[in-house]
Amino acid sequence: MASLQSLMMRILYAAILLIAVLVLNFSMMHMAPGDVADTISQSMGGADQELLDQIRADYGLDQPFLVQMGRYIGNVLQFDLGYSFFYNKPVTELILQRLPATLLLVFVAQILALFIGVILGVISARKPNGIASHFVTILALFGYSAPVFWTGILLLIGFSLKIQLFPVAGMRDVTIEGGFWVHFIDVARHMVLPVITLGSIFLALYSRLSRATMMEVLGSDYVRTAKAKGLTERQVVYKHALKNSLSPVITLAGLQFSAVISGAVLVEAVFSWPGLGTLAFQSIIARDTPTILGILFFSALVVIVGNLLTDLALRLVDPRVRSKG
Amino acid sequence: MNKIVKNLAAATALAALLAPFAQADEPVRGGTLVTVLGSNVRNLNSAVQSGIVTGFPGAQLFASPLRYDENWEPQPYLAESWTTSEDGLTVTLNLVKNAQFHDGTPLTSEDVAFSVDVIKANHPFKSMFAPVESVDTPDAHTAVLNLSKPHPALMLAMSGQLMSIIPKHIYGDGEITDVKTHVRNNENVVGSGPFKLTEFKNGEHVILERFDDFFIEGRPYLDKIVMRIITDPAARAIAYENGELHMGAFESLPRIINRLKKVDGLTVTPDGYGAIGPIDWLAMNTAKGPLSDVRVRKAIAYAVDKNFIHKALMQGTAVDSTSGIHPDSPFYAAQEGYDVDLEKSAALLDEAGFPVKDGSRMSLTIDFGWPGVKPQVEYVKAALKKVNIDVEVRASADFPTWAKKMGTGDFDMSWDTVFNWGDPVIGVHRTYDSSNILKGVWSNTQSYSNARVDELMAMAAVETDDAKRKALYAEFQQIVADELPVYHTNTLPYHTVYNDKVGNPPLGIWGTSTPIDMTYLKE
């Protein structure tokens, strides 16, 4: 009962948050100098005042600010995200076209980073001064400090040019033909480098954190008790210690979810990945307000769902959270 | 089937043996050309959308009345012949009889008349067809353009991507100004060009396939064109190198151009951009502060070393440009220019009433429209320091931010790149015409005004004699280079990159904004 109530509260907060996101972003977009008429004229190589006025009138940009915002939010409340100024297409259609590519990239990178990060963390926690531990430290330092686009370009030069293993850009090769598995392998090949690039930052984060919590847990009383009971090292580490050290990592992973989406913008730009990040970036430059707001709306939704999933995952690994409701 | 292929291969091999030089010129049918677009396409309908990204797919989907060869000579395309009346007031196009749209509907003079209306109502380059008052259609294959005054610029405006003939039976279903946002601009696009649309995926690719009923017998040679959208120049460079891309155009970063030149199997050439005509310049706001004095503008030109820009910043990839017209244009008249001379510069500044006070003569700002020209801007700051002018570099977050400053005259100097777009009337006049001082980027944002320049441009616009027209533009270029509303420094070094498999890449005057029905893949 209590948990249902807390769920309802969460949904209410989420709705308020979404409206706040819309109002804030609409205002910020409005404050930025220039509008979509300018960028349309740029893509056309210049336009005269008459044409600019015509474009502004077409998109209702000549109306007062509050009227524009009122109209927009009114439409969103009726689940209508509007029409993209720049692409002349419904925003929902544009986003749904791009969303799967981003989710695929983000989920795979996130899950791999989490999985490998935890394993590396555990290994190095068991022997804090071993070679493996130093390796993890260096990897973490490198992964966290190297700029995404630099890692990306470096990987491209290494594995697309010098050793021609992976394709340079895009998500699939449109010239190949074949059944499902041919395309599956094709997409997988295209994904390798972007996933490594995006995953490297988070891998660093997770391996550091799980190393630290694991070391803390390994030094705690109940681990000593477990060892005293005569359990093997393996049982102690993987059955008792690991479960307890996971909850901070999962919390962090949930919090990082939004960061993964923003990190995807850069990765998508380097690898021409046809996802939401590229669309967001282009729409901001194009002052395509409906598209940007639509993307932010969807991202907020994704983050909220991500946080809910984190919550559920925490309940699974940590009974203390479960009992608290 | 296999046997035929083998025989063919043997025959080709034999032919190659016998005539090693002729072999390269023999086009082959078939194959998929993989090429690239450097930014996202908004719209595939080149009748309502200008710009080089739309131009490439646009010129494959839609045909225009004329096309140009690499010597700036008009060639028949949709118009098999054309005549201009003695007084220059009527231009008659005789259309080919067998042209049809991708949906099988024959192309007629009605479509030509309709397209002119649509372009006049929606295209940003108003000067292209402004003098065209009406289009008569005496029969299905004759279109007569009635002009209010002679308009020699019309010839170039009827080629490349500038006059795409679009089908009336598809785009004529609403108001003429609604064609801008017509749903068929992006999907199910129907033209009469050599290729038809297979798939357009925003942010991913444009895929075109051969139109088998194209009006030129035996063409195009390619079966399919895949235009991938790759916005990162470094990623594009790697894709050329590892062979993922056969060809690409409009590469402009000197470092990448020079790197690709060293790659075996790749050809990197600046040929083929004369009519696109991109030139870089230092714009100076003649309506504001010290820069309203021509002596100050000259002093700046004398302090900025073009040699440094050419050698160090452009790394030898760009060409000197000394007037508002692109050096490849037949109307270009090279001007003497301003060799760096700091003493002369200082003297001019003294004369203009800006002596050195506390180590500084004046403070100016400089803007730039895109990150690629930031080095130029930083260099100008350093160069002007030598003549005691303090320069503040103002970065703009993105294009619209910069465009706003330019459009509202809120700038002293700015680095800019502007395109000629064929005839000077279309892309050159707009920068110097005093009646074009408007709010909005790429108009006469420098607020330059000179009665003689206005007069010269007005005369050149209606002059039908080529030699006289060239003389008018020569005088125009001389005045503009002398009065410096903008200081012309270099061409934007657009380059086309293609590998050994590509035969007959588009190296005319329109870059890739031209039908590539003659391009083929070897083997």
Ranges B344-348, B351-355, B367-371, B519-523: which has the least confidence: B367-371
Residue pair B323/B335 in contact by the 8 Å Cβ criterion: yes
Is residue B408 over pLDDT 50? yes
Quote the CA–CA distance of B422 and B140 in Å, as a whole number: 29
Quick one: which of B275, B253, B278, B254 has its CA closest to B491?
B278
Q: Give the amino acid at A168.
A: V
| Whole-number average pLDDT of chain B | 91
Indicate the SS3 state at residue A284: helix
Phi and psi angles of residue B404, each rounded to the nearest 5 degrees, phi first: -65, -45
Cis peptide before B220 (omega within 30 of 0): yes
Cα A143 vs. chain centroid, distance in angstroms? 17
pLDDT at A321: 66
Strand partners, B520: B503
Out of B49, B203, B232, name the one closest to residue A274 (CB).
B203
Give the per-residue pLDDT at B234.
86
Contact check, Cβ <8 Å, A89/B186: yes
Judge whether A269 is closer than 8 Å to chain B, CB to CB: yes
Determine which of B32, B33, B41, B42 to mutate to test the interface with A (most A C-beta atoms within 10 Å): B42
pLDDT at A43: 67
Kindly report the backbone phi and psi dihedral angles of residue A264, in degrees, each rounded to the nearest multiple of 5, phi listed first: -65, -25
Cα-based distances in Å from B48 to B118, B147, B277, B460: 7, 21, 21, 27
pLDDT digits (tens, 9 = 90+) for A74-109: 887 777 788 887 787 888 888 888 888 888 888 898
Residues of A in contact with B180 (CB under 8 A): 58
- Mean pLDDT for B130-154 is 96
Whole-complex ipTM: 0.75
Residue B421 has pLDDT above 80, yes or no: yes
Instruction: Tell me: pLDDT of B149 over 80.
Output: yes
Which residues of chain B lie closer than 8 angstroms to A287, CB-CB?
400
d(C-alpha B101, C-alpha B377), whole Å:
48
Chain B residues near residue A175 by CB distance under 8 angstroms = 32, 34, 226
Residues 301-320 (B) with a CB less than 8 A from some CB of A: none
Of A171 and B503, the structure prediction assigns the larger pLDDT to: B503
For the record, the structure tokens of B181 come out as: 């946002």
CB-CB under 8 Å, B42 with A40:
yes
CB-CB under 8 Å, B185 with A170: no
Distance between CA atoms of residues A58 and A281, nearest Å: 24
Q: How confident is the model over B166-174, as a mean pLDDT?
A: 94
Residues of chain A with pLDDT under 70: 1-3, 43-48, 257-261, 319-325
Lowest average pLDDT, out of A11-15, B213-217, B280-284, B307-311, goes to A11-15
Tens-place pLDDT, residues B19-71: 444 445 689 999 999 999 998 888 899 999 888 999 999 999 999 999 999 99
Contact residues for A10 (Cβ-Cβ < 8 A; gap 6+): A308
Whole-angstrom distance, CA of residue B142 vs CA of residue B108: 8
- Which residues in chain A (158-217) have CB-CB distances under 8 A to chain B? 160-161, 164, 167-171, 174-175
Contact A175 B229 (CB under 8 A): no
Nearest to B518 by CA among B200, B54, B195, B246: B195
Burial of B245-279, coded b for 16+ CB within 10 Å and e otherwise, reads bbbbbbbbbbebbeebeeeeebbbebbbbbbbbbb
Residue that wins the pLDDT comparison between A216 and B515: B515
Rounded to an integer, what distance in angstroms lies between the CA atom of residue A148 and that of residue A157?
A: 14
Residues B505 and B519: beta-carbon distance below 8 Å: yes
Residue B33: name the closest of B13, B57, B2 by CA. Answer: B57
Question: Number of residue pairs across A and B with CB atoms under 8 Å?
Answer: 157
Distance of alpha carbon B41 from alpha carbon B205, whole angstroms: 9
Query: Residues 70-109, chain A: which have Cβ within 8 Å of B?
Result: 86-89, 94, 97-98
Provide the pairing of β-strand B389-394 with B362-368: parallel
Q: For chain A, what percentages of helix, strand and coil (3-state, to nearest 5) are there?
A: 80, 0, 20
Residues β-bridged to residue B283:
B414, B486
Confidence (pLDDT) at A323: 60
Does residue B5 register a pLDDT over 50?
no
Tell me the mean pLDDT in the region B210-234. 93
Question: Quick one: pLDDT at residue A266?
Answer: 83
Edge-to-edge strand list for the sheet holding B90-95: B79-84, B90-95, B142-147, B132-139
The pLDDT of residue A171 is 84
pLDDT reading at B14 higher than 70: no
Q: How far apart are CA A250 and CA A310, in angstroms?
A: 7
